[in-house]
Amino acid sequence: MNLTKSSNPALSDRIFSKAGFASGAEVMTLQGTLNKALLMLALVILGAAYTWRIFFESVNPASVVPWMLVGGIGGFITSLVVIFAPKTSPYTAPVYALLEGIFLGGISAYFASSYGAGIIMQAIGLTLAVFFLMLLAYRSGTIRATGKFKVMVLAATGAIALTYFISFVLSFFGISLGFIHGSGTFGIIFSLIVVGVAALNIIIDLDFIDRASASGAPKFMEWYGAFGLMVTLIWLYIEILKLLAKLNRRN
């Protein structure tokens, strides 16, 4: 299977090549993948609602920490299972979505305790709006995943990951990169850039799934493709939440 690279590590040509080929009704489709992504999104919301309820019942952000650990660590381990054993994705991808929802519910609770519940509704609304705009742009051909486009997004995604990694390492020495975490002009511009790159990753993900479908990937890979999309959407939501928090601190 000859597929172009995706900046999403979950959607690699190696994974889809290992899945093999299918024919007829058993072939993966973009629409089928999107349908499963919607089901996974519902599971994310369900998991987040559970952690959110715990937070509001206790009115104490610390009460959700154990659930955040369960969701975060469990989601990470499950994601590795999905990546290294794609055939299990019809079962493990939904579990990943539920665990990540529990984790995101905890993160959302922390932001809500500082900025009010309204910021969460705004972040959810903006994330869904960006996704559907990217889907519309992709399907209409407004934004095309050309070779240069993919290289640009891949490079930008790598640069962001490296910047976050450097920031993480420096934090152990008491050094903070203000332009990443600050609410000043540069901090907001940085967040806007990251949100933009995360949004463009959706285009690449959709293109990659489309190409995998055209190449005859088996039906179960729809769950794997939906998992890859969910990874990008979760990243997008967190970055939008951070951007909104920075804007709130400026007011």
pLDDT tens for residues 14-42? 665 555 555 555 789 989 999 999 999 99
Q: What is the mean pLDDT of residues 144-160?
A: 94
Hey, which residues does 218 pair with through a beta bridge?
A: 27
pLDDT number for residue 62 = 75
| pLDDT 10s digits, 194-204 | 999 999 999 99
CA 69 to chain centre: 18
Higher pLDDT, 53 or 59: 53
- Three-state DSSP class for residue 27: strand
* pTM of the full structure: 0.88
Question: Residue 61 has what DSSP assignment?
Answer: G
- The dihedral over CA atoms of 62, 66, 69, 72, expressed in degrees to the nearest 10, equals -80
Confidence of residue 241 (pLDDT cuts 50, 70, 90): very high
pLDDT recorded at residue 179: 72
pLDDT in tens, 78-128: 999 999 999 999 999 999 999 999 999 999 988 988 888 899 999 999 999
Q: Is the dihedral of CA 201, 42, 212, 162 positive or negative?
A: positive
The DSSP element (H or E) to which 179 belongs, if any, is helix 178-181
- Euclidean distance between CA atoms 149 and 155, whole angstroms: 10
182: helix, strand or coil: coil
Instruction: For residue 135, give both structure tokens.
Output: 């889907």
Kindly compute the dihedral angle of the four CA atoms of residues 80, 86, 92, 93, in this order, to the nearest 10 degrees. Answer: 90
Q: Show the tokens assigned to 155.
A: 């490079």
> DSSP assignment of 120-174, as one string?
HHHHHHHHHHHHHHHHHHHHHTSS---HHHHHHHHHHHHHHHHHHHHHHHHHTTT
Q: pLDDT averaged over the chain? A: 87
Q: Which residue type, as a one-letter code, is found at position 201?
A: N
Contact 185, 251 (CB under 8 A): no
* pLDDT, position 251: 66
